[in-house]
Chain A
Amino acid sequence: MAPEPPLLSMSGITKSFPGVRALDGVDLDVQAGEVHCLLGQNGAGKSTLIKVLAGAHQPDTGTIRWRGEDVTLRSPMAAMRLGIATIYQELDLVEHLSVAENVHLGHEPTAAGFVVRGRAAKASTAALLKRLGHPEVDPGRLVGDLSAAQQQIVSMARALSHDVRLIVMDEPSAALDPDEVDNLFRIVADLTADGVAVVYISHRLEEIRRIGDRVTVLKDGRAVAGGLPAESTPTREVVALMTGRNVEYVFPERPAAPPAAEPVLRVEGLSRDGEFAPLDLEVRPGEIVGLAGLVGSGRSEILETVYGARKAKTGRVLVGGRPLRSGSVRAAVRAGLGLAPEERKAQALLMLESVTRNVSVSAMSRFSRGGWIDRGAELGAAREATRELSLRPDNPAVPVRTLSGGNQQKAVLARWLLRGCRVLLLDEPTRGVDVGARAELYAVIRRLADEGLAVLLVSSEVPEVLGLADRVLVLREGRVVHEAPARELDEHRVLDLVMEGSPAS
């Protein structure tokens, strides 16, 4: 018998947004009746890929073959008609409508073409809920009154109310208790037994081990591994694919001797409930300290709490020996802290504005008197700061949204350079930065440290932390499990540390 053509075959999919290439030639094959797991860090391109598959994004290039035929998914409706349903992490249900109304939204059973047959809708919804193992959910109840797990069931019932052949589930277990996860897995097994394919996205490696058939790993908008067997591929290999480098980088050289100055940033017993346990750390001028850990280890939360953007439960932050007022970003900025946040566009940049205005926003008092801005001085200062970081194009008047990801990051760094900050907090500094532009960014960060800045770095990419930092703190589930100079650690050791105790290691 000739091998069946795959149910879905995406090849060479690219998708660019201004400033970043989200997908860079991704291939994905899905067979009928399999659970195909999609793995990757935040920003690896998973959500863009499933949005292309759902018809919500149009790819720039690439082909999609569905049951052996080329198709164009012009809209979510078009994808649904082919039998592709997507259950997003942020459930897209209407809270003020009933379960049955949600399940049949957009394709209500009608009499005479327009009268909704409510009883028929309820009956078919009840049948779907029973099939999903949740007969206790009343089709007449308002969705807003249901638990998160029940809402997810409703979302699945909606997918199944269409003639569905492929279901995409985006981190379906994230909001579920362990026994609810078991029910989810039973549903997935039932679906695949009926020949439905499931594309399953999760951060949890042990889940993938339990229900996955094959694994595709995305990184930096590329599929670094396609169709690995889920059961037999070693966990370390999967994690290394997610966190590792597919290109060898030249990291800037570290200074020969560690800096001897007094620490400028000192964190004492800082904690937040449910996010991270009491933490102590010190960063000296000229030093880069890295926090390494997987998603959910509390990395970003720690940085934002140090910066005052989240209020600490216990502990304090001292800059230059003086404690900061807890939960105040302004106090932190005044004391000399600067943050380059993970979500650059949402948290750092004024996308409608020029580079100059983005760079000058935190240091306006430096070129204004009595609130009056000296625009010549502003432009000069912005030009100087962006030149020092070799920001391209060399014209701070251009809109910041037209810059590439790497140059947008430089604009954020230039902001703090101009402000004259003493401590830089970098959250995933190379997220959304094209692979080719990263080495330059590393050199810039090291140079800033050499000039006396203290840098606290968070990255989900282990080689990045090891290559750039002087000292590394390894985090697991909100706790520091190891601390050592970077040169005494290697990637395998760190991976063992971040995964220790997880079921599949």
Chain B
Amino acid sequence: MTQHVSPPRGGTDKAAPVEGPPAWRVRLGRADVRTLTLLGVLAVLVLIGGITQPDSFLDTRNLQLVLTQASVIGVVTVGMTFVIVSGGIDLSVGAIVALSSVWATTVATQEFGFAGILFTAIVVGVGCGLVNGVLIAFGQMVPFIATLAMLASARGLALQITDGRTQVVTVPDVLKLAERDWYVLGIPPLVMVFAAVTIVGWLVLNRTTFGRRTVAVGGNAEAARLAGIDVRRQRLYLYLLSGLCCGIAAFLLVALAGSGQNTNGNLYELDAIAAAIIGGTLLTGGRGHILGSVLGVLIFTTITNIFALNNLQTDVQQIAKGAIIVAAVLVQRRTASTH
């Protein structure tokens, strides 16, 4: 099928042939080009890792470790992507992960075993998301401010609960999730949760009315309102969703670390935003890519891993991260202007 992608500009309504973008780009689509670019970056990183540390980097255990480490922040990033697509921002994700993880590992909670820990982590996450959502959707607060306030209070509450101590998990079933014996076909259960959240997130954003409303609210809130969409309710749901993702991530983190700490999830908000942005989600809202966000997370985690294996300091790592963010945004602006 030939696609007519170059409609007339101004003048008459008759189609005048206007030079369109090169055919290959039209067939692939902008999103696909971006996904391929990110995959390419990831491939280059794997190559660098393989060349600099051929034994330790490509080792199965190391790759399992990278994926496991990506899982916690990855789940948070999926929720963050939805919020950013709707034109919002959630600065409180790291603090919510901390609060959920410590609340889920108090002595009282652990008495209820696996279910108690899982339930508490998710309820605390959703509860924080509810507060964010109500403040933003019905209190008319700017998302930046409302979630900044949540960041401060949730961290404070986490510190109050733990008194700065590490709460060790004593429920064996939770700890098993991170044990090698429980890997299925070599895949850690935590990674499977991450994969499941990614797939569900992709489907919700791209195949459901909820996803469409999210995109509409982020693309043009006034148009969405006049088209009959309940913009406020949608905003509320989105912060709930982000809180839910934080709760899941907190549970994964508790299983992985075998403990809950008030310092958990430090600066997750910045990593999640950065991953979403290099994945092609517009910070202004209206367009987002779950797969791009996940690839962004994988790229950052792989960099961290390679630097650690090569005994490079975190300062160099931070500089590399910053450079990648700038490069990704510049490349995206170029592709945007050619369309």
Q: A329-B228, A333-B227 are in contact. List 4 more A-B contacts (CB 8 A).
A: A348-B227, A353-B219, A361-B229, A365-B209
Among the listed stretches A246-254, A371-379, A468-476, which one makes contact with chain B, having 4 or more residues with CB under 8 Å of it?
Answer: A371-379
Q: Are B286 and A352 in contact (CB under 8 A)?
A: yes
Cα–Cα distance between A349 and B216 once the two chains are bound (Å): 9
**A407 contacts the other chain (Cβ, under 8 Å)?**
yes
User: In chain A, residues 314-357, which have Cβ atoms closer than 8 Å to a Cβ of chain B?
Assistant: 329-330, 332-334, 339, 341, 346-353, 357
Chain A neighbourhood of B10, CB < 8 A: 16-17, 19-21, 404, 434
Q: Smallest CB–CB gap between A222 and chain B, Å?
A: 13
Known: A18-B9, A330-B228, A346-B223. A373 touches B15 (CB 8 A): no
Cα–Cα distance between A350 and B220 once the two chains are bound (Å): 6
Interface residues of A (CB under 8 A from B): 16-21, 307, 309, 329-330, 332-334, 339, 341, 346-353, 357, 360-362, 364-365, 368, 371-373, 375, 392-393, 395, 397-398, 402-404, 406-407, 415, 419, 434, 436-437, 440
Chain A neighbourhood of B12, CB < 8 A: 434, 436-437
Chain B neighbourhood of A347, CB < 8 A: 222-223, 226
Cα–Cα distance between A330 and B227 once the two chains are bound (Å): 8
Cα–Cα distance between A271 and B160 once the two chains are bound (Å): 55
Q: Are B220 and A402 in contact (CB under 8 A)?
A: no
Q: Are A393 and B7 in contact (CB under 8 A)?
A: yes
Chain B neighbourhood of A17, CB < 8 A: 10
Q: Are B226 and A361 in contact (CB under 8 A)?
A: no
Q: List 25 A-B contacts (CB under 8 A).
A: A307-B226, A309-B225, A309-B226, A329-B226, A334-B228, A341-B226, A346-B223, A347-B222, A347-B223, A348-B223, A348-B227, A350-B219, A350-B223, A352-B219, A357-B212, A361-B212, A361-B224, A395-B4, A397-B3, A403-B7, A415-B227, A434-B10, A434-B11, A434-B12, A436-B13
Interface residues of B (CB under 8 A from A): 3-13, 15, 207-210, 212-213, 215-216, 219-220, 222-230, 286-287
Known: A18-B9, A361-B216, A434-B10. A398 touches B228 (CB 8 A): no
Q: Name the residue among B12, B215, B227 with the largest chain A CB count within 10 angstroms.
A: B227
Q: Which 8 A-B pairs have the closest CB atoms?
A: A333-B228, A21-B10, A16-B10, A350-B219, A437-B13, A364-B209, A393-B4, A402-B7
Q: Smallest CB–CB gap between A19 and chain B, Å?
A: 7
Chain B minimum-CB-distance residue to A16: B10
Cα–Cα distance between A329 and B220 once the two chains are bound (Å): 16
Q: Smallest CB–CB gap between B176 and chain A, Å?
A: 34
Cα–Cα distance between A348 and B224 once the two chains are bound (Å): 7
Chain B neighbourhood of A402, CB < 8 A: 5-7
Q: Smallest CB–CB gap between A79 and chain B, Å?
A: 24
Chain A neighbourhood of B9, CB < 8 A: 16, 18-19
Known: A330-B228, A334-B228. A350 touches B216 (CB 8 A): yes
Cα–Cα distance between A402 and B226 once the two chains are bound (Å): 22
Chain B minimum-CB-distance residue to A349: B223
Chain A neighbourhood of B5, CB < 8 A: 398, 402
Chain A neighbourhood of B225, CB < 8 A: 309, 329
Chain A neighbourhood of B216, CB < 8 A: 350, 353, 361
Q: Smallest CB–CB gap between A49 and chain B, Å?
A: 16
Q: Smallest CB–CB gap between B84 and chain A, Å?
A: 14
Q: Are B7 and A392 in contact (CB under 8 A)?
A: yes
Chain B neighbourhood of A334, CB < 8 A: 228
Chain A neighbourhood of B4, CB < 8 A: 393, 395, 398
Cα–Cα distance between A360 and B212 once the two chains are bound (Å): 10
Q: Smallest CB–CB gap between B115 and chain A, Å?
A: 27
Cα–Cα distance between A371 and B211 once the two chains are bound (Å): 9
Q: Are B13 and A373 in contact (CB under 8 A)?
A: no
Q: Are B6 and A404 in contact (CB under 8 A)?
A: no
Chain B neighbourhood of A307, CB < 8 A: 226
Chain A neighbourhood of B219, CB < 8 A: 350-353
Q: Smallest CB–CB gap between B281 and chain A, Å?
A: 12
Q: Smallest CB–CB gap between A332 and chain B, Å?
A: 8
Q: Are A398 and B208 in contact (CB under 8 A)?
A: no
Chain A minimum-CB-distance residue to B229: A361
Q: Are B3 and A395 in contact (CB under 8 A)?
A: yes
Known: A19-B10, A402-B7, A437-B13. A371 touches B222 (CB 8 A): no
Q: Smallest CB–CB gap between A180 and chain B, Å?
A: 32
Chain A neighbourhood of B215, CB < 8 A: 350, 353, 357
Chain B minimum-CB-distance residue to A353: B219
Cα–Cα distance between A18 and B10 once the two chains are bound (Å): 7
Chain B neighbourhood of A419, CB < 8 A: 228
Q: Are B11 and A21 in contact (CB under 8 A)?
A: yes
Chain B minimum-CB-distance residue to A334: B228
Q: Are B13 and A404 in contact (CB under 8 A)?
A: yes
Cα–Cα distance between A464 and B6 once the two chains are bound (Å): 31
Cα–Cα distance between A333 and B223 once the two chains are bound (Å): 13
Cα–Cα distance between A458 and B223 once the two chains are bound (Å): 19
Known: A347-B222, A350-B215. A362 touches B228 (CB 8 A): yes
Q: Name the residue among B10, B15, B207, B229 with the largest chain A CB count within 10 angstroms.
A: B10
Q: Smallest CB–CB gap between B102 and chain A, Å?
A: 34
Cα–Cα distance between A107 and B215 once the two chains are bound (Å): 44
Cα–Cα distance between A339 and B222 once the two chains are bound (Å): 13
Chain B neighbourhood of A398, CB < 8 A: 3-5, 7
Chain B neighbourhood of A360, CB < 8 A: 212
Known: A350-B220, A403-B7, A407-B13. A339 touches B226 (CB 8 A): yes
A371 interface neighbour in B6, B13, B210, B224, Cβ under 8 Å:
B210
Chain B neighbourhood of A357, CB < 8 A: 212, 215
Cα–Cα distance between A440 and B14 once the two chains are bound (Å): 13
Q: Name the residue among B7, B11, B207, B286 with the largest chain A CB count within 10 angstroms.
A: B7
Q: Are A368 and B6 in contact (CB under 8 A)?
A: no
Cα–Cα distance between A470 and B209 once the two chains are bound (Å): 39
Chain A neighbourhood of B210, CB < 8 A: 371
Chain B neighbourhood of A20, CB < 8 A: 10
Cα–Cα distance between A351 and B223 once the two chains are bound (Å): 10
Q: Name the residue among A307, A357, A365 with the largest chain B CB count within 10 angstroms.
A: A357
Q: Are A392 and B229 in contact (CB under 8 A)?
A: no
Chain B minimum-CB-distance residue to A407: B13
Chain A minimum-CB-distance residue to B208: A371
Chain A minimum-CB-distance residue to B11: A21
A373 interface neighbour in B8, B208, B224, B287, Cβ under 8 Å:
B208
Q: Are A368 and B209 in contact (CB under 8 A)?
A: yes
Q: Smallest CB–CB gap between A431 and chain B, Å?
A: 15
Q: Smallest CB–CB gap between B226 and chain A, Å?
A: 6
Q: Smallest CB–CB gap between B258 and chain A, Å?
A: 38
Q: Name the residue among B210, B228, B230 with the largest chain A CB count within 10 angstroms.
A: B228
Cα–Cα distance between A436 and B230 once the two chains are bound (Å): 37
Chain A neighbourhood of B212, CB < 8 A: 357, 360-361, 364, 373
Q: Smallest CB–CB gap between B161 and chain A, Å?
A: 36
Chain B neighbourhood of A346, CB < 8 A: 220, 222-223
Q: Smallest CB–CB gap between A319 and chain B, Å?
A: 14
Q: Are A392 and B287 in contact (CB under 8 A)?
A: no
Q: Smallest CB–CB gap between B3 and chain A, Å?
A: 7
Cα–Cα distance between A349 and B287 once the two chains are bound (Å): 14
Q: Smallest CB–CB gap between B1 and chain A, Å?
A: 9
Chain B minimum-CB-distance residue to A437: B13
Cα–Cα distance between A390 and B13 once the two chains are bound (Å): 12
